Amino acid sequence: MNTLFRGLNCCTLAVSLTLLTSATAHSGEPVRLRHNPTRWWWIHGVTESQVTQHINDTNSRIIDLEIESLNPARFSAVTVENTGAYRANRWYWRHSIPGVSSLVPYLNEHNRTCVVDLEINTINGPNGSVPIYAYVVADDPQIETDECNYIYAGNYNGYNFFDLDPHSIIGGPPFLAGAYNTLQGDSSQRTYYYPGKSLDEIKNLINSRNLRIIDIERASRDSFNVIMTNNIGVGWYWHIGVSVNDVGQLLRRYNNFRIIDIEPYQRGGQKFFDIIWVEN
């Protein structure tokens, strides 16, 4: 199921919930590749305290975090119930970290955790643009911590990525990525990184190589950086440039699917989203 719907219209706050059962994940499978049925939620345009309240109320953990604005700080997040195939022994999220020199010690202090999501924004500083980071990490019993890594401004050859946030809007190094480096011999978990692709090029990759998208980032107005994996018969959809109201309609239409990546952006003073769904 690989369909594309192009943009529609405008904005309200939406939170969604799907109620389903649980199952066992493949051993060593990054959370973004899992498609086990679970309860899940999407929140957006919320403060840090609202995110915390939501997590406490639902016993959930973040699997996709987006920074909608820095001042004031506003977030969107996809969360899954912290049970069954998605249970983490412990997990953390942090935001508003100035510069990679501050980011790396934070990531390193969370002993025996794996990166789930990394985000970067920029602000104007006295000497130019300053990167501002956010992250989600988890001690996930499905994954051995020596199987996962993160990369900053390094050589990405030989890694399987599940999350990517380029520093350059055009794509390419230096970049920040969550990497999973020991997926040997299991083609169902192999991932592929394609920078700066048009929608037609992405559709061609999906159809000619039987792939599905697990992460998408805008490289420019009309091009995207995507991470894809082999499609092993998992149902999925992707939508580009949809409004908040449209997301609400899609949530009702695809009630047997859940969001694994949703990227907000502003155009003409309105909020739009690029979305990746997977069978739930």
Tell me the pLDDT tens digit for each residue of 65-79: 999 998 899 999 999
The alpha carbon of residue 12 and the mean position of all alpha carbons in its chain are separated, in whole angstroms, by 22
Q: What is the pTM of this model?
A: 0.83
pLDDT of residue 166: 64
Check residue 54 and give left, alpha or beta (phi > 0: left; psi -120 to 50: alpha).
alpha
Spell out, as residue ranges, where the chain has pLDDT lower than 50: 1-27, 168-172
Instruction: Pinpoint the alpha helices (H) of the chain.
Output: 48-58, 100-109, 199-209, 244-253
Distances (CA, A) of 230 to 33, 115, 207, 233: 10, 22, 11, 9
SS3 content of the chain, % helix, strand, coil (to 5): 20, 45, 35
pLDDT of residue 253: 93
pLDDT of residue 47: 96
pLDDT of residue 210: 95
Q: What is the dihedral of CA 3, 5, 273, 266, to 10 degrees?
A: 140
CA 171, 175, 176, 181 torsion-angle sign: positive
